[in-house]
A and B are shown apart, each in its own frame.
Chain A
């Protein structure tokens, strides 16, 4: 007596898969579980909260630049050099993470996240170009963070100014990437799937 598979019902089931196949299957199942959790876990709201906090952090940084007495100097170029740092690593990389998460959802929260990422990317571009201007305007009273590594490095030659400008330009460029990604993903939401084409009336 046998079932549909041709095996006797009391026959033991033997896993004939190789260890590599078992690991691959286990990994695939784990990925499916992860995907299911992402789909149903409200992570679109988490992306929105992430982006809100990131922008709040940036706004606080900007506020502190205008409010604080930077190195005891009230020079506006000094303030500008610190203002240029507010659109750096944290904002750009944080915005990319939020965009990546929002791209996997079709909710209003995800759409709002992408719009906030647009704002973050725009500020990165603006602050990057401000940094470029500051790099070439350095004076003895205005320290410039040359490569945004955290140390105050006043450029001492034209080559130093060029490198400082390159670093700031780099962050502006990364901001452009954030802008393009968020814009493209938002564009697919606001335009119809068929590109606006309508079927001709009979």
Chain B
């Protein structure tokens, strides 16, 4: 399974000159990641209780669900968007990087909201399954907030750097 067939797919793709066409891929990816995140935010604010059925709605619970919207999809989706924008650099990559900045920032904000909610109300269901307690739950949200800030910072720097000017 390790027969060498010469150049890798990525190298051949660049030689074919089809790289500029793929800059749209990063933009499309980020648009859909943000669409899914927006739908999650809507659901958190609209339903705001565990079952999803009409019933008691607590704002702290809404905020808890809102905090989850900045989780894996927003963070890892934005990170993948940054990688796609840099690998397939083109005219639309700068926009994709700006959208990734937004996604990362939202993950950061949502993570901070999660930390606040955890320390405000212990009865709100926690994020951590393995450990019980406020500190571990807060740590999970804090980690995602930090990941979001890293993604946002990297995306912002790429969009403003020399690479960014090449992209734009």
Q: Mark A residues whose CB is within 8 Å of B.
A: 42, 44-45, 48, 89, 93, 96, 100, 102-110, 114, 143, 146-149, 151-154, 156, 160, 163-164, 166-167, 169-171, 173-174, 176-177, 180-181, 184-186, 188-189, 191, 193, 195
Contacts and interface: CB of A to CB of B under 8 A. Distances in A.
Given A104-B10, A177-B29, A170 B1 contact: no
Interface of B: prevailing SS: helix
B68 interface: yes
A110 B9 contact: yes
Given A107-B4, A163-B42, A171 B10 contact: no
Contacts, number: 136
Interface in B19-51: 22, 25, 28-29, 31-33, 35-36, 38-40, 42-44, 46-47, 50-51
A102 B149 CA distance: 29
Contacts of A153: 43, 47, 52
Interface SS of A by simple majority:
helix
Nearest to B31: A173
B12 A193 contact: yes
B143 interface: no
B13 interface: yes
A151 B72 CA distance: 15
